[in-house]
Structure 1
Amino acid sequence: MKKVHFKTTNGREIIFDAKGNVPIYYDIVNWVLLPNGTLISVNIGSFNQTAPEDHQFFMNPSTILWNPYFNETPRSICSESCAPGYRKILQPGKPICCFDCVHCSEGEFSNTSDAENCMKCPEDQWPSEKKDQCIPRTIEFLSYNDLLGATLVCTVILFSIITVVVLGIFIKYRDTPVVRANNRDLSYILLISLILSFLCSMLFIGHAGRVSCLFQQVSFGIIFTIVISSVLAKTITVLLAFKATKPNSKLSKWVGTRFSSHLVLLCCLGEVVICTAWLLISPPFPDYDIQSEKGKMIPKCNEGSTIAFYSVIGYIGFLALLSFIVAFLVRKLPDSFNEAQHITFSMLVFCSVWVSFIPAYLSTKGKYMVAVEIFAILASSAGLLGCIFFPKCYIILLRPELNTKDHIIGKNLCNKVK
């Protein structure tokens, strides 16, 4: 029987395989109900297992007669195919051909039909609007070509020029009582450091790179430490100068340029040590923020060591708070020493700016975070410049009759000293 091999009258080949089974052969039949009620069958195709693989199934759709009820060829499916950008979710309790098409989640895509799972894009790419492919993320940062960046640069240059002019006024009138009474050398140091603080904000503009990341926070920390330590030295000098005028006071030897310069140097040394350790252990490095805004990559400087970063900021905050406390305590000294009042107000402005900076910084995203940080640097530096030096420039330029030794020392104090 295994060797039987013959053809029927209609050309069908009959053989047996090794297991004695006859190869499968099916006729595909279309049953048609005629108007007179007769039911006939029409052969519209076949399935032959012995035919070549790509010719096993055959059907002639043109020979099919559908019920007149159908306006078009019916589809024998439960659910339509899911387009790219979607994934299939099986409907509970139904066959596997019944499913829902769900749009891919945020950050995912599918580029094939009837995808069972969506895939995540690489970090530097983002799904297209249809989520059927990944496209490169847009790189966005605060540049010099932006209107906001250009405005900030112009503001930096303006404040720097104003500070240079104030420094020039103090140098030109260096031998006048107003300049000499307020520790001339400390004023020079403070003005130069304010110029640098304005200029250092420009390091935050542009694409974050390896060099700029190393200098951004470190330069900001050291320069602002010089600024605040100069203000602290001024405040302590005012206190010592008043105490030294009392009879038998031993503080007179501490009043002078040497003490104030050493105090500034000592305060700056602490910040330099922190910054040096930061750069040696875990320095800042360029990175990208891909979480803040969809489809965008924002170049930023990763702090490297969070502890070192907050140590730098905390050290400046400590000096600022100390300067404010000392200035507040000596604010009621005689009018002869009224610089303490200016320093108190300037430190109040300084602290207010940086306290309000925190919620403003946390509530912004992308390049606007950098803009807020630059604004805080400019506002706090401008506050110190305006509160401490503008009143003196006003006296020097517009009220020269007040720029006298008698006015600076004060009549009451002169009588006490005599």
Structure 2
Amino acid sequence: MYIQYTVNFDLKGDSVPYYDIINWQRSTGGNIEFVLVGLFDGTMTVGQELDIQEDRIIWAGHQSKVPVSVCSDSCAPGSRKAVRRGEPVCCFDCVPCDSGKISNETDSVDCAECPEDFWSNPDRTACIPKVVEFLAYDTVGIVLTVISAVGACLTIVVLVVIFHHRYTPIVRMNNSELSFFILFALVLCFLCSLVFIGEPTNWSCMLRHTAFSITFSLCISCILGKTLVVLAAFTATRPGNNVMKWLGPNQQRAIIFTSTLVQVVICVAWLIDAPPYPSRNMEYERSKIILECSNGSSLAFWCVLGYIGLQACLCFLLAFLARKLPGNFNEAKFITFSMLIFCAVWLAFIPAYISSPGSYADAVESFAILASSFGLLLCLFVPKCYIILLKPEKNTKQHLISRDKK
């Protein structure tokens, strides 16, 4: 008796495979049984050759669930495989990718580094753009803007009060022209702090330090001229002393112009030789791009600050010498105190500025400008406005020139 069955051949003449898939299973009696759980038919279309009935498969230990690796589970995306020394290849540890690196595949053997302008997400599975940071108009920027606007408005109010009472003795005896110059310079000082807020550009970087240095130099030059006038006014009362002829209005304007011109020359040389420019700081914090203004020339930057400090120290020294001169309203006392506050603010600013990166450095410098401007405004003009508005009986020539009973 003959059994007929069909044999298929492929294009190369080889027979097409046809296999039964057998699962060895132990019966309840302890015997080994061969159970057909599927087949492989090479005559079927691609993708349908294999047919397995998974519900009929019994794994070791009489389990129907597919067993896992005998050593380590697969490493999820965001981590990499680290082989354990002296153990089989299937034994490994899953190590999370370092910051700035990712892996987006299971069982990745290495983590890929993100491009320069990107950083890894918290799961270390994708690269995302780095956060760009600068002193923007957020909470800190808005607070500084409001303080700057309030300071400028207060200065204008004081200017209006002084101008309205410009013919009163307390204004005339303390050199009204220099007072107007100081108030004008203080308005500019308050407003120049706004240049430090916003994304750095070529123009804003060049304007930041030059604007505040020239305005502060103008302000301190006016205070220096006022201090010299105070000293000259008291020493001129001595017989044969005609020092006041050397400190007339024209000479005062020349002192202010010359002192400010030196700072202007330093700033112009700075801008011509190595001007400040916007830069991207990615070294301080690698996950962020900090936009800041590079000084261009550190020597020029410290020369600018040093010249303002030299002016302030000279002004403080002269005002300190004149602080005990007689009079019911000796402005030298207020100038001395204002210079103390000014120097204290900027001495505290230097270490804070050096240790602060990016937007924090801009915020520190802006705060120092505002604090020193408020110090000058309050110390120099609040006592004068107090007498003008609240104590008009003291705003007389007889009261101002009278000596203390001592």
Picking from 105, 111, 115, the partner of 2:104 is: 111
Q: Which of 388, 396, 399 in structure 1 is aligned with 2:388?
A: 396
**Aligned-pair CA distance for 1:289:** 4.1
Residue 343 of structure 1 aligns with which residue? Answer: 335
**2-side partners of 1:305 and 1:411: how far apart?**
52
- CA distance 1:338–1:133, shift in 2 (3 Å): same
Query: Is 1:162 aligned with 2:154?
Result: yes
- The counterpart of 1:67, out of the listed 60, 63, 71, is 60
* Rounded Cα–Cα distance in structure 1 between residues aligned with 2:222 and 2:52: 95
Q: Is the 8 A contact 2:326 2:403 kept in 1?
A: no
Is the 1:138–1:296 contact (alpha carbons within 8 Å) kept by the matching residues of 2? yes
Judge conservation of contact 1:292–1:366 (CA < 8 Å) in 2.
no
- Counterpart among 150, 171, 184 of residue 179 in structure 1: 171
Q: 1:257 to 1:222 in 2, by over 3 A?
A: same
Say if 2:252 is the partner of 1:260.
Answer: yes
Distance (whole Å) between structure 2 residues aligned to residue 131 and residue 111 of structure 1: 8
Q: Could you tell me whether the CA contact under 8 Å between 1:123 and 1:290 is conserved in 2?
A: no
Q: Which residue of 2 aligns with 1:204?
A: 196
Deviations 1:370-417 (A, max 9, x none): 44432322221111111111212222333333333333333589xxxx
Q: 1:359 to 1:60 in 2, by over 3 A?
A: same
Report the equivalent of 1:316.
Answer: 308
Q: Residue deviations 1:345-371, cap 9 Å, x none? A: 111122222334456556767645544
Structure 2 Cα separation of the partners of residues 361 and 61 of structure 1: 73
Q: Tell me how far apart the structure 2 counterparts of residues 198 and 175 of structure 1 sit (CA, whole Å).
A: 27
Among 227, 234, 241, the residue aligned to 2:226: 234
Inter-partner Cα distance in structure 1 for 2:22 and 2:298: 77
Give the Å deviation of 1:142. 3.9
Deviation digits for residues 100-136 of structure 1 (CA, Å, limit 9, x no counterpart): 1111222322233333333332333221121111112
TM-score by length of 1: 0.78
Whether the 8 Å CA contact 1:293–1:365 is kept in 2: the answer is: no
5+ residue gaps, structure 2, are 1-6, 9-19, 40-45
Partner of 1:385: 377
The alignment's TM-score, normalised by the length of structure 2, stands at 0.80
2:273 maps to 1:281: yes
* Matched-pair contact (CA < 8 Å) for 2:328–2:404: no
1:90 aligns with 2:56: no
The whole-number CA distance in structure 1 between the counterparts of 2:310 and 2:80 is 56
Q: Name the residue aligned to 1:136.
A: 129
Distance 2:334 2:129 in 1: 53
CA apart distance, 1:341: 0.2
Cα separation, 2, equivalents of 1:407 and 1:28: 118
Note if contact 2:135-2:141 (Cα within 8 Å) is conserved in structure 1: yes
Cα separation, 2, equivalents of 1:79 and 1:349: 67
1:161, distance to aligned residue in structure 2 (A): 1.9
Q: CA deviation at 1:33?
A: 5.5
2:93 pairs with 97, 100, 104, which one? 100
Change (3 A) 1:200 1:252: same
Asked whether the equivalents of residues 69 and 90 of structure 2 are also in contact (C-alpha less than 8 Å), the reply is no
Range that drifts further, 353-362 or 156-165: 353-362
Give 2:326's match in structure 1, choosing from 313, 321, 334: 334
Relative distance call for 1:137 and 1:235 in structure 2 (3 A) is: same
Quote the offset at 1:193 in angstroms.
0.5
Q: Between the two proteins, what is the percent identity of the paired residues?
A: 47
Measured in 2, the distance between the counterparts of 1:349 and 1:32 equals: 93
Secondary structure of residue in 1 paired with 2:81? strand
CA distance in 1: counterparts of 2:215 and 2:394, whole angstroms: 33
Alpha-carbon distance in 2 for matches of 1:288, 1:230: 38
SS of 2:65 mapped into structure 1: coil
Mapped to 2, the partners of 1:321 and 1:162 lie a distance apart of 26
Question: How much does 1:28 deviate?
Answer: 10
3-state SS of paired residue (1:94): coil
Amino acid at match of 1:325: L
Give the match's secondary structure for 2:279. strand
Partner SS, residue 71 of structure 2: coil
